[in-house]
Amino acid sequence: MSDKLPDLIDPLMLAERRSVLSGAINIAALERLSDVVAESDGYIEVEVVFGKEGKRPMVSGRIKTTLAIECQSCLLPMPWPLDIAFKLGIVSSIDEADRLEIDCEPLLFNGEKISLNGLIEDEILLALPDYPKHEYDCMIRRSSKNSDYDQQDSQPKADNPFSVLAKLKKTGE
């Protein structure tokens, strides 16, 4: 998983050649994503396939990683596994994007090389929820833990098993 991926690519040329790019991208290399995650070590597994559907040049691919993102309820980092499949039709204008005949998202390409890292980053950011939260109710669990603790603390000392033991010891003497 140490294959180096090129950053700047010409998707049309790669589609003509039916190229496949696969490798890993360090999370730290993606600035916008690094701002969102709680930890930016680790990497993203990427496979990108270029080709054509009919006359339409296409980019499709798969992105796999596990990010550490902050739960918006309890603010603790939590593992967030991602397995994203994407499919983009390469277009040269907004008009062409509107007329995209295949069921996929447009990728605007005006002849200037585009950033593969940026494309992968966009797909990941789109796949992340706005308010990521633990699947269980982490705040209720947290507050009930606290109230248990309070209860124990406010119990009268006589109920403490150690003081009962101490009493038994005394009577035995």
Residue numbers at the binding site for Zn ion (CB under 5 A): 71, 73-74, 134, 138
Comparing CB distances to Zn ion, the nearer of 40 and 73 is: 73
CA-to-CA dists, residue 108 to 10, 36, 41, 49, 121, angstroms: 12, 25, 31, 17, 16
- CB closer to Zn ion out of 5 and 69: 69
Q: How far is the CB of 69 from Zn ion (least distance, A)?
A: 11
Q: How far is the CB of 71 from Zn ion (least distance, A)?
A: 3
3-state helix, strand, coil in the chain (%, to 5): 35, 35, 30
Q: Which of 113/141 has CB closer to Zn ion?
A: 141
Per DSSP, what are the bridge partners of residue 59?
A: 50, 88
Identity of the residue, 82 or 138, whose beta carbon is nearer to Zn ion in the bound complex: 138
To Zn ion, the closest distance from the beta carbon of 132 in angstroms equals: 9
For CA atoms 131, 137, 143, 145, give the dihedral sign: negative
* Closest CB 133 distance from Zn ion, rounded Å: 6
By DSSP bridging, strand 8-9 and strand 114-115 are antiparallel
